[in-house]
Amino acid sequence: MKLSDYVIDFLVGEKISHIFEFVGGAITHLIDSTYGRHDIACVSVHHEQAGAFAAEAYARINGKLGVAMATSGPGALNLVTGIGSCYFDSVPCLFITGQVNTYEYKFERPVRQIGFQETDIVSVVKPLTKYAEMIIDPQKIRFCMEKAVYMARNGRPGPVLLDIPLNIQRAQIEPENLESFFESDEYKKTKSAAECRSGDIEKTLTFISGAERPVILAGGGIRTSGAHAGFLSFVNKTGIPVVTSLMGLDSIPHDHPAFFGMIGAYGNRHSNLTVANADLLLVLGSRLDSRQTGTRPDIFARAAKKVHVEIDPHEVNARVKVDAAINCDLKTFLDIINKRLETCKKEDISDWYKVIHNYRARYTSSHAAGSSKVNPNRFMELLSSRSAEGDIICLDVGQNQMWAGQSFQIKKEQRMLISGGMGAMGFALPAALGAAKAKFEKNIIVITGDGGIQVNIQELETIVHHRLPVKIFVMNNNCLGMVRQFQDMYFDGRHQSTVIGYSCPRFTDVAKAYGLQVFAVRSMDEAVELIDQALLAEGPVLVEVALEKTTVVEPKLVVNKPIEDMSPPLDRKELEKIMLIDLANDKEIPK
């Protein structure tokens, strides 16, 4: 059979029903091999970066694998941001690129290029993939495909890339004679995930039984590892309060009695206070990056014993020193400890709950109705209250992401898709495309800013072409607000390139040109009615939400402060009064 047909058959065998692609000459054989099939379909995007983001979201929702394809040269290079996003956020995706014929490729010759659009994409993406290879022998196609999918899914998941030259794509092969990766010495030598040791379980249980103020920090690894059900069982069995990282926001419904918000640089003040005063911190599937700990990891949760469960051994004790570093698969850890908890007494931590309930009541991120001007946190509360169970929320990067992180109340079975480690503007719209192809029966809610929507605005056409139930809310303050706020704090309000030199179009007119229904929210008074109209409308909708240019994200952690000391700062006496431990000193950041 033709090798390109084999590749598509292989993807179907892996339960892949959609390939996100932008066609080009160097992948025409692969694209042609999908023609007329009913078990797999091409979703043609208008920029390869959008295809990569769509594949990432598809993988997050279907729990299996995402696939994106691009041609050689510019097409392959346009995938790189999306590949990096999958790498940093541990999402299993297979990227397939076309390449010039092997007899046109330069290999080791000291020239820049021989074939048209020839580019060494494998060397470019190796630092951002778990495995990348150009296939130069048709007989290796099964081996490389099996290896790629295995590497993408196993251990800490991530992206892989196969670069397939044109003459390899059109080669004739005998499938039954192809070598299997799973029969190779390489596979036999592959390290499995570290086993969860019984001593780690017992140590964790001892810490839990001795804690008066325990807290769980839930990270993105809960979803990545497939541990969601086990995590909820663990929370219910122990009753331990839960805070989340940005990537862990959809690990637990926000009406769960144990949920107490998002921590970090733009987290909820009450959530940061909860972590700061804990005497036990259970970190589940989070790498404890600086957006969570602030720039002072030495004083992060300083009164707490820390247990860190993480599949990547390089992430444990990397920034925050812990008392129990447990390098194993999170799902396995939770399955084992949940069985042990069946015979353990549930600890009484009601006094601790009273403390953190008080924190939340005093320092809520909620905003009551008042001024008619749109308050973004209040708008997020309203939007979440009108959304339905099972809806998928796709956040862009910028102030809009933080307002949603602080105030969007996630319901049962809802998912929230975020570009975390890469933090790529332009993520939300193509992510909605991928999510909709994985779960068409639910609304996909896009929350973006006037800056982020412009990065991949061309995908409005793809959304309309496929008649997808995507509801886009553009939080428009006519500037690049996140950096503008940063400039106000550290650059004396010099707004170069965030206000000066920046502009945006009339989004409702642009959306109309693409064929979307449009609404415009100009005040809080009309917010509920227009949100309802947008969410109930058939097909794709864009809602422009007018904000003042000076709108900010608050509270915010500033450099060299512990996470409990956010801006705008509390009165020092008030902070001292509500803290259960001593205040941190103001020494310089450790070098």
Determine the distance from the C-alpha atom of residue 317 to the mean position of all C-alpha atoms in its chain, rounded to a whole number.
Answer: 23
Percent of the chain with pLDDT strictly greater than 70: 98
Alpha-carbon separation of residue 350 from 39, 139, 212 (angstroms): 54, 64, 9
Tell which residue, 473, 475, 469, has the closest CA to residue 391. 469
**Strand order, beta sheet including 18-22:** 41-44, 18-22, 66-70, 93-99, 159-165, 131-134
Residues 545-556: pLDDT tens digits?
A: 999 999 999 999
| Torsion sign across C-alpha atoms 85, 90, 94, 96 | positive
- The string of pLDDT tens digits covering residues 88-134 is 999 999 999 999 999 999 999 999 999 999 999 999 999 999 999 99
197-253 confidence digits (pLDDT tens):
889 999 999 999 999 999 999 999 999 999 999 999 999 999 999 999 999 999 999
Residue 505: predicted pLDDT: 96
Task: Give the residue from 239, 204, 206, 193 showing the smallest Cα distance to 337.
Answer: 204
Residues of the chain with CATH 3.40.50.1220: 198-362
As a whole number of angstroms, the distance between CA 518 and CA 534 comes to 8
For the chain, how many helices (H) and strands (E)?
25, 18
Note the pLDDT tens digit of each residue in 444-503: 999 999 999 999 999 999 999 999 999 999 999 999 999 999 999 899 999 999 999 999
What CA–CA distance (Å, rounded) separates 41 from 348?
A: 54
- Residue 591 pLDDT more than 70? no
Closest CA to 264 of 303, 285, 293: 293
CA dihedral over 33, 38, 39, 42, signed as positive or negative: positive
Angle formed at CA 83 by CA 9 and CA 19, multiple of 5 degrees: 30
For 96, 277, 381, 565, the CA distances from 359, given in Å and listed in that order, are 50, 11, 19, 13
The closest alpha carbon to 414, from 380, 389, 437, belongs to 389
> Which residues make beta-bridge pairs with 96?
69, 162
Q: What's the burial of 490, exposed, middle or buried (CB within 10 Å: 0-12/13-18/19+)?
A: exposed
User: What is the pairing mode between strands 131-134 and 159-165?
Assistant: parallel
- 245-257 pLDDT, tens digit per residue, is 999 999 999 999 9
Domain with CATH 3.40.50.970 in the chain: 3-188, 376-546
Structural contact between residues 162 and 144, judged by C-beta atoms closer than 8 angstroms:
yes
Superfamily in which the 376-546 domain is placed by CATH: Thiamin diphosphate (ThDP)-binding fold, Pyr/PP domains (3.40.50.970)
Q: Which residue has the tokens 């422009």?
A: 544
Give the homologous superfamily in CATH for domain 198-362: TPP-binding domain (3.40.50.1220)
- Average pLDDT, whole number, for the chain? 95
pLDDT digits (tens, 9 = 90+) for 261-319: 999 999 999 999 999 999 999 999 999 999 999 989 999 999 999 999 999 999 999 99
pLDDT of residue 94: 98
Residue 195, pLDDT score: 83
Question: What integer pLDDT is reported at residue 424 of this predicted model?
Answer: 96
Its CATH architecture, for the domain 3-188, is 3-Layer(aba) Sandwich (3.40)
